Amino acid sequence: MLGLFRTARKTRQHSEAAGWLSPQPGGQLLQSPYRQQLIGALWDMCSMSRQVFVDYVQAPIERYAELAQELPASESHHHAYRGGMLDHGLEVVCYAMRLRRQHLLPPGASPEEQTAVGELWTVAILYAALLHDVAKILVDIEIHLISGRRWHLWHGPIPEPYRVRYREDRDYHLHETTNLLLAQQILSPKVLDWLYSEPRLFGTVMYAVSGVPERGGIISEIVGQADRTSVSKALGGDPNKAFEAPTQSLQRKIADGLRYLVKEKLGINQPGAPLFLTDDALWLVSPRVPRELKGYLLENGVGGIPGDDTRLYDEMQAHGLIEANPQGQSVWPVTIVKDDWSVDLSCLRVPPALIWPSAEERPEPWSGSLTVREKASKKGKEDQAGPDAAQATNEPTPDTTATASPSSSSSAKSSATPATDVPEQGASTSATEVSGLDTDSLIDLVTGGETTNTTTPADDAQATDPSLLDATHDDASPESTKAEVDTTSQPAPTTKGKTLGETFLQWLQDGAKSHRLLVNAPKAQVHGVDDTWLIVSPGIFRRFCHEHDGVSWTEVQQQFQKLGLHRVRDDGTNIHSARVDGQNKKGRLVKGYILKRADVLPIEQRNNPFLSLIAHRNMDVNDE
């Protein structure tokens, strides 16, 4: 028997020396001190017998480990190291369990019912946390076996030594809808039978796991918060001041953040794109890309990021992340030409090896020309061409407007599900008690603080997350409620041939379709109500302005109103109110514009079950 173990060990060492990873049993993968510490923390947080814990908690985790093996959680994102998927899954489960302790579940139930089914709710949240990202290892990567076969995990655990490769054409949202493909393997029929003893709870878990947060309710919220905490911790940030100061250098944080944005978020080498790759440099349109980078880092809890663009450029230049121009400055004035399209831009010059260490990984270079100008044009001197690069296109496409992912908007004023880069090793970090997170009620989580309260209690304004405080507003101001807004503002960015209102509408439609703008989710600015859409005001206009320089949100709002796409109330005002339906937040309102037709947005209309429109008599905007 001892000889068999020695043979197996030698085989594994030989295959790994050749670049192949050997599959291991789930229990063996969980034996590292860090992972044992996480499992021990779970045992401490569950009030169940040891045998029940083994059958209904530890066994699913071992099956999860056997599927995840030593796969990373992402290519250049969080937990992007060997075994990162397993670490991330365990961390999210632990954080979710700690957050669950701050809620009385099920919501609104009697104390007797909460006592009777509370433990089942606890384990249901654990299952949702464990499954929340599992399909990434199913649809984002290709698993190649040493025998020459490709392996799909719906056939079961990896059977022989393997290598992995990330799919270049992967859909970054597909895993959300395919997590359930692996649910039965991980949970087992026995566990599913237990969970289905409460059919409504079973449904809530299924919705949460399959990416339908408006139906996943409080479970989606808890898992989402836990996921963001794990991601931010991996980056070395300080989520809501709950962890110790980050140990990574600022240089590493900036480099990792930039690598993630370039590889996974921003367009490249097309008219209006913020990135252009030539044979010897990657050119970042300034200040658009640096500002997206700052927003991305801030949203994920990274402190110490210079607020001033010049200081950020100096920091990047000092560490060799960008190259100085002949005058020793960071910004290069360039002219970019392709066919009959041309534009003068201000750019930062980045060594391509910073993003793609291997030349084989790099995209094809820009097929047009990119020339460094001796002297910056007025637009270049002002360093304002970047955000409006799309406006210079003669034939703009939907991607040429200066849109951004949720991770780049509002410089941390939006809490879209973040995506962050990670340290190379996360397994040495100890589990830390989560505290100071936003633990407001379900209603605050669903509406993201974009509410007003008729009684305005002081407690409602005290959210731990600063973005909630920044998002609150008073929509009763005359300039935001009257059909005609009398205000002056700066010149607004417009795509050629489009008004500012049409540019905003295109941005709104593109954002909803690409998931850059959340819908019916925490911190969302777009909600389904009354079989159409409510867009939160002024939050949606402020977000647009954060992504477009030189325009005030009041002017964007005014120009949007002129499109006549919204319902106008019979008193001549535009802002409608939707009531938040909940046990403990009576009187809370979400305010904004109601679109006349749901098909204005190119996505399937689904009503937010937590919102109901307050009835007002409406009149067509043309009747005013």
Q: Is residue 516 very low, low, confident or very high in pLDDT (cuts 50, 70, 90)? A: confident
How confident is the model at residue 144, as a pLDDT? 95
Write the pLDDT tens digit of every residue in 407-451: 333 333 333 333 333 333 333 333 322 222 332 332 333 333 434
Write the pLDDT tens digit of every residue in 526-557: 999 989 999 999 989 988 887 787 778 888 99
Residue 56 is given by DSSP the state: I
Residue 75 has pLDDT above 50, yes or no: yes
> What's the token pair of residue 306?
């210079």
Cβ–Cβ under 8 Å, residues 69 and 23: yes
Separation in Å, CA 71 to CA 23, 83, 165, 619: 10, 5, 10, 57
Where exactly does CATH 1.10.3210.40 map onto the chain?
A: 17-236
Work out the percent of the chain whose per-residue pLDDT is above 90: 35
Among 34, 42, 164, smallest CA distance to 96 is for: 42
DSSP 531-575: TEEEEETTHHHHHHHHTSSS--HHHHHHHHHTT--B-EETTSB--
Q: Three-state SS for 174?
A: helix
What number does CATH give the domain 17-236?
A: 1.10.3210.40
Angle in degrees, CA 466, 470, 472, rounded to 5: 120
CA distance 20 to 293: 35
Interior/surface letters 1-23, b for 16+ CB within 10 angstroms, e for the rest = eeeeeeeeeeebeebeeeebbbb
> Which residues are CB-contacts of 363 (< 8 A; sequence separation ≥ 6)?
268, 269, 277
CA distance 355 to 293: 14
Which region among 88-97, 162-171, 389-398, 615-624 has the lowest average model confidence (pLDDT)?
A: 389-398
Cβ–Cβ under 8 Å, residues 204 and 219: yes
Q: Phi and psi for 542 in degrees, rounded to 5? A: -65, -40
Element (H, E) at 341: strand 341-350
CA distance 594 to 581: 18
Element (H, E) at 3: helix 2-17
How confident is the model at residue 593, as a pLDDT? 95
**Beta-carbon neighbour count of residue 108 at 10 Å?**
12
**Range 221-233 average pLDDT:** 84
Write the pLDDT tens digit of every residue in 549-584: 777 888 899 899 999 999 988 777 889 998 887 544
Residue 475 has pLDDT above 60, yes or no: no
How confident is the model at residue 334, as a pLDDT? 94
Cβ–Cβ under 8 Å, residues 414 and 543: yes
Q: Is residue 358 very low, low, confident or very high in pLDDT (cuts 50, 70, 90)? A: confident
Amino acid letter, 463: A
